[in-house]
């Protein structure tokens, strides 16, 4: 054969190097399958984020509002605001999944060489790329219009049952094994449900009646703010941990090539 300088050809074509198996070079589309797999996974995350926002916009939650440009009115109910863009983002996940499965299905029965079937790789790859670019640009624009409703969020977090795990943790720090602490707090929850009162409405006598192991000091844990501030691990909901994580990602995003200074 010809003594071709494959490294020279690779450099001129913009590749980082050459493959060591020429059959592998022409017989697979692994790089495209990997791209479609990443696109499908990103689409899944976008879909889940959209679902959270759809729920948070609903009257039952009422945690957020989104700019009118990304919603439409109902065709029959004058009071209704439909989160159209979020629903479309959620739906695009199916297209991204389908493109991945389409190429995998094309490749699954081919002999280990080039086959014309592989021409079918173009449509799913280009479609996924176009779909993701449109979805990410739209989501970025929509996120700038999101407003949170602190009063509704505060009201939703003012549920004493949310503190049950904190009570159990408190007992553990005072020498009660977690399995036993879980059981004791579960009985306190059942008692408050039976009385139709808040967990924090129980008193020291109520807790002692459940068990002498039940340290009434748990009654000092009464708010969601106490709960999040008590968290100490990396990745927790402690405000300081959240601020560190936000700062880390802000730095990483600012360092991205082509990022304009001051952009968000």
pLDDT (average), residues 88-98? 97
158-230 matches 6-149 in CATH topology: no
| Domain ranges, ordered by start, for the chain | 6-149, 158-230
CB of 199 closer than 8 Å to CB of 226: no
What's the pLDDT at 11? 96
Report the distance separating Cα 202 and Cα 167, nearest Å: 13
Give the CATH number of domain 6-149: 1.20.200.10
Q: How deeply is 167 buried, as exposed, middle or buried, from its count of CB atoms within 10 A (0-12, 13-18, 19+)?
A: buried
Tokens of 101: 């499965």
Residue-wise pLDDT tens digits, 128-156:
999 999 999 999 999 999 999 999 999 99
pLDDT at 263: 58
Structure tokens at 133: 């670019």
Q: What is the pLDDT of residues 246-256, one digit of tens each?
A: 999 999 999 98
Q: What is the pLDDT of residues 198-237, one digit of tens each?
A: 999 999 999 999 999 999 999 999 999 999 999 999 999 9
Question: How far apart (Å, rounded) are the C-alpha atoms in residues 152 and 149?
Answer: 6
Measured CA angle at 66 (ends 141, 39), to 5 deg? 45
Terminal Cα-to-Cα distance of the chain (whole angstroms): 55
Q: What are phi and psi of 64, to 5 degrees?
A: -140, 165
Q: Encoding tokens for residue 109?
A: 């029965």
Average pLDDT, the chain: 94
Nearest alpha carbon to residue 127 among 105, 84, 94, 83: 94
Contact 54, 64 (CB under 8 A): no
Query: Strands 147-148 and 81-82: what pairing?
Result: unpaired
Contact between 201 and 214 under an 8 Å Cβ cutoff? The reply is: no
Q: How far apart are CA 174 and CA 176, in angstroms?
A: 6
CB atoms within 10 A of CB 232: 9
76: exposed, middle or buried (C-beta count within 10 Å: 0-12, 13-18, 19+)?
exposed
158-230 maps to which CATH number?
A: 1.10.40.30
Q: How far apart are CA 84 and CA 229, in angstroms?
A: 37
Task: Note the pTM of the prediction, 2 decimals.
Answer: 0.84
């Amino acid at each position: 054969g010809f003594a071709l300088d494959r490294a020279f050809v690779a450099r001129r074509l913009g590749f980082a190097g050459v493959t060591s198996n020429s059959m592998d070079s022409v017989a697979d589309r692994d790089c495209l399958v990997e791209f479609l797999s990443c696109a499908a996974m990103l689409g899944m995350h976008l879909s889940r984020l959209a679902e959270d926002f759809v729920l948070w916009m609903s009257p039952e939650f009422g945690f957020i509002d989104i700019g009118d440009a990304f919603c439409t009115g109902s065709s029959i109910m004058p009071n209704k605001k439909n989160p159209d863009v979020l629903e479309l983002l959620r739906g695009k996940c199916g297209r991204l999944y389908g493109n991945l499965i389409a190429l995998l299905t094309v490749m699954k029965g081919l002999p280990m060489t080039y086959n014309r079937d592989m021409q079918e790789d173009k449509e799913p790859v280009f479609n996924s790329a176009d779909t993701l670019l449109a979805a990410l640009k739209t989501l970025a624009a929509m996120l700038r219009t999101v407003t949170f409703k602190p009063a509704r969020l505060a009201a939703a977090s003012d549920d004493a049952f949310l503190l049950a795990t904190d009570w159990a943790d408190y007992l553990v720090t005072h020498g009660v094994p977690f399995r036993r602490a879980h059981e004791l707090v579960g009985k306190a929850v059942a008692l408050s449900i039976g009385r139709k009162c808040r967990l924090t409405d129980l008193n020291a006598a109520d807790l002692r009646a459940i068990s002498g192991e039940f340290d009434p000091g748990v009654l000092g844990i009464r708010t969601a703010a106490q709960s999040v501030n008590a968290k100490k691990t990396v990745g927790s909901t402690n405000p300081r941990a959240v601020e560190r994580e936000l700062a880390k990602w802000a730095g990483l995003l600012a360092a991205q090539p082509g990022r304009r200074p001051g952009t968000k």
